[in-house]
Amino acid sequence: MKALMIAATASMLAAPAAAQQTTGAPAGNLKLTDMTGRNVSLSDYRGKTVVIEWNNPGCPFVQKHYNSGNMQKTQAAANGMGAVWLTVNSGAPGKQGYMTGPQVQAFVTSAKAVPTAYLLDPKGVVGKGYGAKTMPHLYIVDSVGKLVYQGGIDDKPTANAADIAGARNHVLAALGEMKAGKPVSMPETRPYGCSVKYAD
């Protein structure tokens, strides 16, 4: 059984761009290095709720949420509810969004972002395995490793920061329901933003 699980995980991580994680099923055990070169695995956080965010600081939709402070507030609120926040960058070298570890560290510091870890995926293996299509694209994995949410950060698919005030923050709504012991009422929503700039 263990061998089958390992094979299934490897298959998901090596899947083509059309692949997608299935809501309600175990999430793929992503393994990447963070902005400091430390190895990080989703399984490191078993027992905790984990939010995974796809990021590209050059994308206007990402800028909407970071320049306004909305993403940082969402990260902080998630952390306050005991969740782990993993930010992933799947931008390929030479394409918009790609950053080296030191560049990521500078971005995190200047943006005052508070992810638990910022992970680098320049080959796009994890992004493709998760079916990440846009930036931002958000996923929530529960404490037993099951994917319980995937989609947009909210229900206002624009690059206009003025729309944030009237938006439903899907991530915080889902985390609140989980903390209250309730099922996530909207487990899948439409992700929006810039396309992930994967390697060809």
Least confident of 7-11, 59-63, 123-127, 185-189: 7-11
Q: Specify the DSSP class assigned to residue 124.
A: -
Residue 14 has pLDDT above 80, yes or no: no
The whole-number average pLDDT for the span 48-64 is 97
Q: Give the DSSP H/E element, type plus range, for residue 100.
A: none
Classify 37 in phi/psi space as left (phi over 0), alpha (psi -120 to 50) or beta. Answer: left
Q: To 5 degrees, how large is the angle CA 104–CA 74–CA 50? A: 75
The CATH class for the domain spanning 2-195 reads: alpha beta
Bridge partners of 40, per DSSP, are 32
Q: To 5 degrees, how large is the angle CA 195–CA 154–CA 12? A: 50
Q: Dump the DSSP string for 144-174.
A: TSBEEEEE-SBS--SS-GGGSTT--BHHHHH
Which is it for the CA torsion 73, 85, 21, 99, positive or negative?
Answer: positive
3-state SS, residue 60? helix
Domain ranges of the chain: 2-195
pLDDT band at 7, cuts 50/70/90? very low
* The pair of three-digit structure tokens given for residue 66, joined into one six-digit string: 């970071």
pLDDT band at 200, cuts 50/70/90? confident
- Which pLDDT does position 20 carry in this prediction? 80
Of the CA atoms within 13 Å of residue 128, those in its CB half-sphere come to: 18
- Which pLDDT does position 178 carry in this prediction? 97
* The pair of three-digit structure tokens given for residue 169, joined into one six-digit string: 């923050």
CA distance 105 to 197: 20
Model pLDDT for residues 168-198, shown as the tens digit of each residue: 999 999 999 999 999 999 999 999 999 999 9
- Which pLDDT does position 1 carry in this prediction? 35
Total H helices, total E strands in the chain: 6, 9
pLDDT band at 105, cuts 50/70/90? very high
Question: In angstroms, what CA-CA distances link 129 with 68, 133, 150, 157?
Answer: 30, 11, 13, 24
The whole-number average pLDDT for the span 74-102 is 96
Mean pLDDT, all residues of the chain = 90
> Could you tell me the maximum CA-CA distance found in the chain, to the nearest angstrom?
50
The whole-number average pLDDT for the span 107-122 is 98
What proportion of the chain, given as a percentage, has pLDDT over 90?
88
